[in-house]
């Protein structure tokens, strides 16, 4: 029997950036995200009569090197649940044409949900979030839709996401400005490790996240888009300040990233409600209302090398 699960990606408004335990993927801080409806992964799994897992991505078989991270994940899951069978896995990323980015958040959330079914573990949502977290920290949040908080915890069993509001009635959209350029990549795993170890500002980041998490939760409750945007933008910039202040310093920003940050600042001065957030890459996500995002989109469409995709609020895990 093949079991297929769908998980949507999420964008952190309060970022997860740094682990106190690498192996368990326990973060130093809570983080808070919004699940999006435009970028998702469908993952199917079945048990096969073999002593090796067979992994495909977008219907293309992965070689040993490419499968390594997933096989390691499956090995640790087998060990934890005392399960000896191997799997055939196919993971298909659905990203709008030329958006060009897949996400480890939707990827590991869909994989966790699919193998939970195939292994007949019957995990509840908190346990599923823990299982997804072991693959990639941000995947812990994609179990739920809407606004989600990942509680840092201090051991494997108490570090999982909880829903804040899965179906918020709020006029909030997210525009992804995708920069069509192959940048040299420092993975988020490596980037956050370097930030923790070498940025003199890391202890301040931990304090900042605690206060901004409380503030943004109030703003979400009040449906105050301006406040949500201000906090999210400040939090993202503070995360990127950790990379700039690392030794040696590094940045995920490309020239186009900075160009878009400036453009959004100018548009705000014209009265357009828009704020940026940026993850471990050059692409920019812009938060605003339906109306302001339409306006931002028309300005961004004048830039070459930038593709835009508008997303609304997405669902939690689905099965079919």
Contact residues toward ligand DP6 (CB under 6 A) are 12, 15-16, 25, 31, 104, 136-138, 188-189, 279-280
Which CB, 16 or 40, lies closer to ligand DP6?
Answer: 16
Using left for φ > 0, alpha for ψ between -120 and 50, and beta otherwise, residue 153 falls in left
CB of 291 to ligand DP6, least distance (A): 27
CB 168 within 8 A of CB 151: no
CB of 12 to ligand DP6, least distance (A): 3
Which CB, 31 or 114, lies closer to ligand DP6?
Answer: 31
Which CB, 185 or 262, lies closer to ligand DP6?
Answer: 185
CB 166 within 8 A of CB 32: no
Which CB, 31 or 257, lies closer to ligand DP6?
Answer: 31
Residues in a beta bridge with 24: none
Residue 250 CA: distances (Å) to CA of 7, 124, 163, 185, 213: 31, 40, 33, 11, 26
Residue pointed to by tokens 């106190």? 20
CB of 120 to ligand DP6, least distance (A): 27
Identify which of 261, 247, 152, 154 has the alpha carbon closest to the alpha carbon of residue 201. Answer: 247
Which CB, 139 or 273, lies closer to ligand DP6?
Answer: 139
Task: Say whether the peptide bond before residue 63 is cis (omega within 30 degrees of 0).
Answer: no
3-state SS assignment for residue 53: coil
CB of 278 to ligand DP6, least distance (A): 8
CB of 185 to ligand DP6, least distance (A): 12
CB of 281 to ligand DP6, least distance (A): 8
Which CB, 3 or 133, lies closer to ligand DP6?
Answer: 133
Identify which of 222, 81, 94 has the alpha carbon closest to the alpha carbon of residue 231. Answer: 222
Strands 86-94 and 54-57: what pairing? Answer: parallel
């Amino acid at each position: 029997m093949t079991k297929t699960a769908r998980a949507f990606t999420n964008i952190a408004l309060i970022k997860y950036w740094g682990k106190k335990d690498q192996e368990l993927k326990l973060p130093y801080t809570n983080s808070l995200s919004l699940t999006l409806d435009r970028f998702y992964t469908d993952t199917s799994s079945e048990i096969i009569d073999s002593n090796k897992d067979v992994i495909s991505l977008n219907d293309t078989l992965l070689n040993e090197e490419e499968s390594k991270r997933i096989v390691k994940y499956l090995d640790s899951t087998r060990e934890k649940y005392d399960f000896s069978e191997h799997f055939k896995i196919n993971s298909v990323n659905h990203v709008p044409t030329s958006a060009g980015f897949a996400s480890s958040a939707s990827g590991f959330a869909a994989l966790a949900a699919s193998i939970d079914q195939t292994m007949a573990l019957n995990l509840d949502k908190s346990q599923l979030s823990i299982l997804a977290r072991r693959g990639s920290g941000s995947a812990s949040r994609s179990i739920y839709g809407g606004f989600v908080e990942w509680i840092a915890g201090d051991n494997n069993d108490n570090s999982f996401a909880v829903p804040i509001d899965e179906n918020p009635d709020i006029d909030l959209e997210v525009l992804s400005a995708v920069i069509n350029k192959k940048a040299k990549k420092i993975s988020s795993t490596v980037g956050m490790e370097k930030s923790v170890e070498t940025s003199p500002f890391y202890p301040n980041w931990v304090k900042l996240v605690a206060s901004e998490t409380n503030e943004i939760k109030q703003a979400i409750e009040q449906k105050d888009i301006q406040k949500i945007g201000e906090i999210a933008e400040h939090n993202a910039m503070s995360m990127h300040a950790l990379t700039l202040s690392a030794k040696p310093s590094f940045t995920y920003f490309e020239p186009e990233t900075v160009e878009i940050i400036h453009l959004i600042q100018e548009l705000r001065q014209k009265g357009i409600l828009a704020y940026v957030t940026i993850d471990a890459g050059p692409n920019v996500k812009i938060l605003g209302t339906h109306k302001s995002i339409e306006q931002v989109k028309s300005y961004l469409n004048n830039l070459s090398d930038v593709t835009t995709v508008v997303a609304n609020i997405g669902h939690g895990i689905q099965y079919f």
